[in-house]
Structure 1
Amino acid sequence: MKKIFLVLFLIVMSNSTYGQSSPLAAEKLAKLYPTKKIVSLYHNDWTQKYYPKRIQEFKKKPLEFGEIVFIGNSITEGGHDWSARFGLDHIRNRGIAGDVTDGVLKRLDETIYFKPKAVFILIGINDLFSLHYNEDNRSLKYEKIVPSPEYIAKNILKIAKIIHRKSPDTKIYVRTLLPSRREYIKEDILAVNKMIKKNQAKGYYEVIDLYAQFVDEYGELPREFTNDGVHLNDKGYAKWINFEKPIIERL
């Protein structure tokens, strides 16, 4: 009988110590998220305002242990409820519109802490918009310009490496960048994707070649899958899901 009471006591104490409702746990969780007003100088002026708002949304609904996490920018965020889209439980959306590879590096603590079953990463297109800001007619301002496609690929490798080192049981997938109808970034998309594939040999991640699924004979994102030449429409997301669902179902 004493052993039973001891076990129950330990369970209660464990829950009170590590449960999200305890002050200690709440304080610990709060430290998992970036707190600076400007997290990355590579963010444009719009993203510097939006990124903190999205982080607050993450804090209100933190991840849970053992989930599948989609990490990315507006293309990922725009998928909204990925669990509903895939018809599978426990897929969480960690996309932030406008985010760059450097911004993802600054917000990995939450993902690492909750030890996801798998992470799927799609990031880098906004880095290329930064690199070509003179050719981009959106008139966004940048504190600092992303240096090169090589820098982007190295950051993607670094993201995967950090997750692998701190959450070794997490399966890591890196998606190649989608094609675009913006002529000035087409060659750099190819360069980043080539490096993503090459770095797979380092053993931190497995590549999902999303680019190959979408590119047309002109090296562009087909009009039927996009409204603006960069982001996907519902038909585009449906194609994505049809391609990736067998991969996720095997996890």
Structure 2
Amino acid sequence: MHFFYDNRRLLAGVLLSAALLTGCAPKESSQGSDQSSADVSTSENNAGDKSQTDGSSVPANGSASLPEDGDQQPQAGYDFSKPCPESPAVDNSYFADAAFIGDSRTEGLMLYSGIGEVDKYTSIGISIFKLESKKAITIDGVDYTLVEALAQKQYNKVYICLGVNELGYFNDQGFYDSYCKVIDDIRASQPNAVIYIQNLIPLNEDTIAARGGSEYLTNEHLRVYNELTQQVAQEKQVVYLDLYSAFVGEDGQLPADASTDGVHLSGTYYKAWLEYLKTHTVSYETLYPEGGAAQ
């Protein structure tokens, strides 16, 4: 088993240790075709649906309108324009006051990484476009959107990972605008939380093609979305986690042994995702030394 990580010796060591102990990922830990079809092949996310979302329009060049340099000045002590640097490892108790927002990839992280009991706000097939309109969670008999449900409790950390289902919309500007609004709304309900944006782990396009997956699932477009989420992190002054660089193989794809469908991860790689999160943390005080996040 080979793992390709960019200057992540600690993470590689964890992966190799896991591989030696287990020999391979547990059969039940693989995200199979049933979950992939439910997540990235929904009618909401049809590759042929190029309609604009929330009235946004895509510029002629297909790129989102990004903020001009100087529109947002990073707070002293932390550079929001760069990915979160590596930090001393924390244990699982760090996530006891955290919430995770995402689609089936995040659901897999919750189930197979060994993270333990953590509050999750996930929905298979969810996209940033539907995050504040789809009533995906029921609490005490009341249906909520993921953002509404999150507001029912206070957290010190909020992790977000979205973007794979959005690739089929072909709406880069709408993706950027919607992500910015979601950050604003989360910050309004969670003013004391460190907000982490996780960029997208790469796909294995060869496996997707062999499985008859959707043609819009490409690493080229995925990298565009990763650039956009990094711009969101800089503009909104939240933490950017570079999962892509930690998981990309030498051929620019997710390693073939990491996934049975090219999208969802095997158990060993979900564990590696958790190890990355445990070694990339930052305190609220470091981010906002003057006592409050920029609005």
What secondary structure is seen at the aligned counterpart in 1 of 2:114?
helix
User: Would you say 1:194 and 2:223 are equivalent positions?
Assistant: no
Asked whether the equivalents of residues 102 and 160 of structure 2 are also in contact (C-alpha less than 8 Å), the reply is yes
SS, match of residue 179 in structure 1? coil
Alignment partners' CA distance in 1, 2:175 and 2:201:
15
The residue aligned with 1:113 is: 152
How far apart are the structure 2 equivalents of 1:80 and 1:201?
Answer: 27
TM-score where L is the length of structure 1: 0.61
Q: 1:207 aligns with which of 240, 257, 265?
A: 240
Give the match for residue 123 of structure 1. 162
Q: Which residue of 1 aligns with 2:57?
A: none
Q: CA deviation at 1:105?
A: 2.4
Q: How many residues matched?
A: 173
In the superposition, the TM-score normalised over structure 2's length comes to 0.53
Match of 2:178 in 1: 155
Secondary structure of the corresponding residue to residue 218 of structure 1: coil
RMSD (Å), alpha carbons? 2.7
Name the residue aligned to 1:171: 194
Deviations 1:90-126 (CA, angstroms, capped at 9, x unpaired): 5212221111112222320111231211110001101
Larger RCO: 1 or 2 (CA < 8 Å, sep 6+): 2
Work out whether residues 81 and 93 of structure 1, in 8 Å CA contact, stay in contact via their aligned partners in 2.
no
1:78 corresponds to which of 108, 113, 130: 108
The reply to whether residue 96 of structure 1 matches residue 119 of structure 2 is no
Cα deviation code 1:118-145 (max 9, x no counterpart): 11000110111xx2xxxxxxxxxxxxxx
2:149 is matched by which residue type in structure 1?
E
> Retained in 2: the 8 A contact 1:86–1:245?
no
Percent same amino acid among aligned pairs?
A: 24
> Which residue identity is paired with 1:231?
H
* One-letter identity of the residue aligned with 1:74: S
Contact 2:103 2:124 in 1 (8 A): yes
C-alpha displacement of 1:77: 1.1
Q: Where in structure 2 are there 5+ consecutive unaligned residues? A: 1-40, 46-95, 134-144, 206-214, 285-295
Q: CA deviation at 1:248?
A: 5.5
SS at match of 1:93: strand
2:232 alignment partner AA = N
What is the alpha-carbon distance in structure 2 between the residues aligned to residue 46 and residue 78 of structure 1?
A: 21
Aligned counterparts of 2:183 and 2:189: Cα–Cα separation in 1 = 10
**Whole-Å separation in 1 of the counterparts to 2:110 and 2:276:** 18
Distance change (3 Å), C-alpha of 1:86 and 1:250? farther
Post-superposition CA distance 1:137-177 (Å, at most 9, x none): xxxxxxxxx24123223222221111112321121101001
3-state SS of paired residue (1:194): helix
Q: Residue 44 of structure 1 is aligned with which of 35, 42, 45?
A: 42
* Counterpart Cα distance in 2 of 1:105 and 1:247: 28
Give the letter for the 1:174 counterpart: I
Pairwise CA distance, 1:204: 4.1
CA deviation map 1:28-85 (0-9, x unaligned): xxxxxxxxxxxxxxx93489xxxxxxxxxxxxxxxxxx83111100101123347x71
- For each residue in 1:188-229, what CA deviation from the matched residue of structure 2 results, as whole angstroms up to 9, or x when unmatched? 111110111122222342111111111112221111211111
Gaps of 5+ in 1: 1-42, 48-65, 132-145
**Which structure has the larger Rg over C-alpha atoms?**
1
Kindly provide the amino acid, as one letter, of the partner of residue 103 in structure 2.
N
- Equivalent position SS for 1:86: coil
